[in-house]
Chains A and B, each alone.
Chain A
Amino acid sequence: LSRWKSTLAGGALEFAAENRIPTYDALFVDEAQDLMPEEVALLKAWSPNLFFVGDDRQKIYSHSEGLNAVRTLSPVPIERFLPFHYRMAPEICEMADRIQVAEGGRALSATSHYKGPQPGRIRVHGPLTRHEQIERAGEALHDQLRVYAGLIEQGDRLAVVVPRQDDRDLVLDTLEENASLVGKSKIIRARSGEVEDREYDPSFNRDQPIAILTEQGSKGLEFRAVHWLFCDEAHWRKAETYYTVVTRAKTRLDIYHGSDLPGMLAKAYSPPAGDLW
């Protein structure tokens, strides 16, 4: 994918020499950490005024050096750090901090101004079979649809995150068998570019508040509750991927596994303290 992105951006840059690139007064670019250097150069050709937002801890594509590429632009860009955030409950922040801490040591939990539902909660479920994982998530989703109904009305969504694209269909089919969840879920993905996919609408839908998506597809999104299924079935993840998925949850994160919990998550997860006596 990285190679394809580089090739595409490099090809588009060739239009610049022929003055066939449209120009814009200003461009605002999010998720800049995942840009390839060629893409940054292309953006520079598009507009003299660029505004990038990014976080290296959420870099999920290999070989992407977006923020470094931005820093080498001429003239040297002005760089500002956002010193606080509002999105995640402290419990989620603490787990994310145990996976990665930002440059300069600014922990998420120390900069959280979260005012949403409390308390936040993280739970690990397993080992469970694949079917059991989906069933368990379905039960929790049923409760979450009820308790977060008001927030869902205001735009909040729930998510089921899976490692592979094929898993999305399995999850959707299984959730649809649950009478209380029929018609409530939707696969959120990018359009494939194929002709038959043109009609696919990737936008969120209030009537289908459960989004089913891959780990990579979850980047840049946020959900009131996240159910991360089959998390032990992928071995290609970097710390940034774990960090990205964990930080998609605003209040509640449920992690499901079939065998051993991945080391990175086991290390970061702090089970709730039970009664001592």
Chain B
Amino acid sequence: MYIYAVANEQEVNEIVVGRPAGHQTPWTGRRSVHRLPNGAVGAFWRDQKPDGGPIRPLILVVPEEEHRRLFGRFAQLRGDLSPLSAWCHLLTPKQFGNLDETTRAAELNGYEAAWTGLVVAEASLVAQRPVSKLKLAACLATQTYAVARTNGLWGSLPLRDILERYDAAHQLFRVGEPSTVRVRASLEAVWDALSAASSADALGTNASLRAVVRALRTLRESRKEKDVDEAEALYGALNELSEADLLLRLTRISPEMRVKEFDKLVAVLEHEISHERSARWHSLVFLTAYLATVAAGGQPSLRLAEDVSARIPELAAWAYLIGGVGERVVWTSSFDGLGRLVARELTRPLHFDEAPTCDFGLEEALTLVDRQLSDSLVYLKIKQLRVVSVSLLPGVNISISYTEGMREAAPEPIESAPRLSNPPRLDRNVLSSLADALFPYFEARLDHTRNRYGGRKQQKSGTARRAPSLHPKLPIEGSEGD
């Protein structure tokens, strides 16, 4: 059984150290929650064990107007318990009032794989690296992850609100925009369309996106029904686009011809790239991206979209997304094994009877950051080396590169160090951190060196040094039989 208590300042002090206090009632869901009086905080815990041990507050329900006072008070007077959001969920009265259970499912309505693809696409676009070089933290740092996770746990909040929170979290660590913002303009329409497709009502969708929302839903239904000619079904959703005729003859076009059709569509997009983002533009990008997902004779050739991603980033984003539409099995090794990890985080239920997994919540951090101090983050007590996890909303935890942030926040450009006759010895930990931070940049060069090592001359004549074999010998990997 769970207890909900309305507590004043003094009673909150008791509750956070494990002593029940305040006006307590058994919690039976949203009907048992009452309006909080001014200055009061709600507290939620599992009922005391028979042994009389301390109760552990699971949720503090804090009205927005109480944030500054509550968080500041604990930071100043009970620093041992601050930040509160590191060990206890902080909810607004509205969020708590909507709870019926202590577990909140992350529901993306069958578009989990599509969102996963979009997260990976954004991480790849931002890092300008192939998927095989991406790490999970890069995916959990994306705007798409924040949007998808918020949609999954808390319904469709306005996109602007989510992005404001995302930016505010980055502002805690750095001056200037996070690197992910570079692709924001290209992805906003994609987020809008996918959010609309996965919600029950698409009427509120921007009119210029209605065709692609219809196309997404058609594609999903078609794949769900295992329609052998999904391209023809898709034509029904995109038939206002003259180029969509291609869909009607797609099954008869060989992969080599499909790549030529793809190039033609890209040429049209590049011609129209300076125009306003109209319904035609969005449909054309969708069509081109769809073609990339079936270019290899029904199988994806995402490299086609990646190759033009510097000019048309949304093309790669759509291609990664479309490949996942209709796919319900999200635990495969898609995206070089990254797909299942991202999907796992996107769909992870939020358990309020477990401690949060973030380092701290955004609302509390905004209160505790003190720009007047030399270490403005001192009250947040960051104990992670390079990446911190910040909760934008309960359960919506994004990764932020902390080292990078501090570097970007450096006020002055670094000048060449003067040569010293007796240079000081660097601390081993500093060197270790430096090596870790630099390694991703070396990694690509090391790969390049390895590739050069297996150059053509040696392969032809066989007299050069032998390259280390990075791949299995005969038969070919993935052989389908002889």
Interface, chain A (partner B; CB < 8 A): 30, 53, 85-87, 116-121, 140, 143-144, 146-151, 154-157, 169, 172, 176, 183, 185-187, 191, 196-197, 199-208, 220-222, 250-252
Contact yes or no, B456 A186, CB < 8 A:
yes
Q: Which residues of A contact B459 (CB under 8 A)?
A: 186-187, 200-201, 205, 208
The answer to whether B255 and A148 have CB atoms under 8 Å apart is yes
Segment of B152-160, B379-387, B462-470 engaged in the interface with chain A? B462-470
CB-based nearest A residue for B336: A153
**Dominant secondary structure at the A interface:** loop
- Complex A-B: 7 CB contacts under 8 Å: A85-B481, A119-B252, A200-B459, A203-B472, A205-B459, A250-B480, A251-B297
On whether the beta carbons of A199 and B474 are closer than 8 Å, the reply is no
Tell me the chain B residues, 269-301 only, with Cβ under 8 Å from chain A: 295-301
Q: A222 touching B480 by the CB < 8 A rule?
A: yes
B376 within 8 A of A: no
On whether the beta carbons of A199 and B465 are closer than 8 Å, the reply is yes
Chain A contacts for B301, CB-based, 8 A: 146-150
On whether the beta carbons of B260 and A143 are closer than 8 Å, the reply is yes
Q: Using CB atoms, name the residue of chain B closest to A168.
A: B460
Verify B482–A220 contact, CB threshold 8 A: yes
Query: CB distance A201 to B304 under 8 Å?
Result: no
> Which one of B258, B467, B471 lies within 8 Å of A147 (CB-CB)?
B258
Q: Which one of B463, B473, B478 contacts A203 once the chains associate, using CB atoms below 8 Å? A: B473
With both chains docked as a complex, state the minimum distance between the C-beta of B81 and any C-beta of chain A, in angstroms.
Answer: 51
Q: Which residues of A contact B455 (CB under 8 A)?
A: 183
* With known contacts A147-B304, A150-B303, A121–B478 Cβ distance under 8 A: no
4 nearest CB pairs, A to B: A200-B462, A117-B297, A155-B477, A149-B303
Q: How far is the CA of A118 from the CA of B307 in the complex (A)?
A: 23
**A117: nearest chain-B partner, CB-CB:** B297
Question: Are B476's CB and A156's CB within 8 A?
Answer: yes
A118-B298, A199-B462 known; A146-B251 Cβ under 8 A: no
A150, A208, A251: the one within 8 Å of B454 (CB): A208
Give the Cβ gap from B355 to chain A, nearest Cβ, in Å: 41
- Which residues in A have their C-beta under 8 angstroms from that of B255? 117, 144, 147-148, 251-252
- Report whether B481 and A150 are in contact in the complex, using a CB–CB cutoff of 8 Å: no
In angstroms, how far is the closest chain A Cβ from the Cβ of B75?
Answer: 51
B307 contacts across to A, CB distance below 8 A = 146
* Residue from A144, A148, A186, A202 with most neighbouring chain B CB atoms (10 Å): A148
Contact B296 A86 (CB under 8 A): no
Starting from the known contacts A201-B469, A205-B471, 18 additional A-B residue pairs (CB-CB under 8 Å) come to: A86-B481, A87-B480, A116-B297, A148-B301, A149-B304, A150-B300, A183-B455, A186-B459, A187-B459, A196-B462, A199-B465, A201-B462, A203-B469, A203-B473, A205-B459, A207-B451, A221-B474, A251-B255
- From B302, B304, B470, B477, residue with most partner A Cβ within 10 Å: B477
Contact B476 A222 (CB under 8 A): yes
Evaluate contact between A208 and B463: CB separation under 8 angstroms. no
Q: Are B299 and A146 in contact (CB under 8 A)?
A: no
Q: For B303, list chain A residues within 8 Å (CB).
A: 146, 149-150
CA distance A23 to B475 in the complex (A): 25
User: Is there contact, CB below 8 Å, between A183 and B478?
Assistant: no
Which residues 222-237 of B sit at the A interface, judged by CB distance below 8 A?
none
B458 contacts chain A at the CB level, 8 A cutoff: yes
Evaluate contact between B256 and A119: CB separation under 8 angstroms.
no
**Minimum CB distance partner of A88 in chain B:** B480
The yes or no answer to B259 lying at the interface (CB within 8 A) is yes
A205 to B299, CA, bound (A): 22
Q: Which single member of A116, A196, A207, A222 contacts B299 (CB below 8 Å)?
A: A116
Chain B, Cβ-Cβ closest to A200? B462
Q: Which residue of A lies closest to B254 (CB)?
A: A121
Q: Is B479 an interface residue (CB 8 A)?
A: yes
Query: Contact between A147 and B256 (Cβ–Cβ < 8 Å)?
Result: yes
Asked if A204 and B258 sit within 8 Å, CB to CB, the answer is no
The reply to whether A147 and B474 contact each other, CB–CB distance below 8 Å, is: no
Cross-chain contact of B256 among A169, A196, A200, A252 (Cβ < 8 A)? A252
A94 to B475 alpha-carbon distance, docked (Å): 25
Q: Are A185 and B456 in contact (CB under 8 A)?
A: yes
Cβ contacts under 8 Å, B258 to chain A? 147
Q: Which residues in A have their C-beta under 8 angstroms from that of B475?
A: 220-222
B337 → chain A closest CB, angstroms: 13
- What chain A residues lie within 8 Å of B296 (beta carbons)? 117, 147-148, 150-151
Beyond A150-B301, A201-B459, A221-B475, whether A119 also contacts B254 by CB under 8 A is: yes
B460, A169: Cβ atoms closer than 8 Å: yes
Cα A200 to Cα B456 in complex, Å, equals 11
**How far, in whole Å, are A150 and B256 apart by their CA atoms in the complex?**
14
| Most chain A CB inside 10 Å of its own CB: which residue of B252, B256, B300, B463 | B256
Shortest beta-carbon distance, B445 to chain A, in Å?
16
Q: B479 — which chain A residues lie within 8 A by C-beta?
A: 155, 222
Give, as a whole number of angstroms, the nearest-CB distance from A114 to chain B: 8
Report the Cα distance A133→B459, complex, angstroms: 23
Q: Are A201 and B466 in contact (CB under 8 A)?
A: yes
The residue in B253, B255, B301, B476 that gathers the most chain A C-beta atoms within 10 A of its C-beta is B255
User: Do B477 and A140 have beta carbons less than 8 Å apart?
Assistant: no
Q: A85 — which chain B residues lie within 8 A by C-beta?
A: 480-481
Q: CB-CB < 8 A to B451: which residues of A?
A: 207
Residue contact A205 to B456, C-beta cutoff 8 Å: no
Least distance between B451 CB and chain A CB atoms (Å): 5
Q: In angstroms, how far is the closest chain B Cβ from the Cβ of A186?
A: 4
Given A143-B260, A150-B299; A199-B476 close (CB under 8 Å):
no
Chain A residues, Cβ within 8 Å of B476: 155-157, 204, 221-222
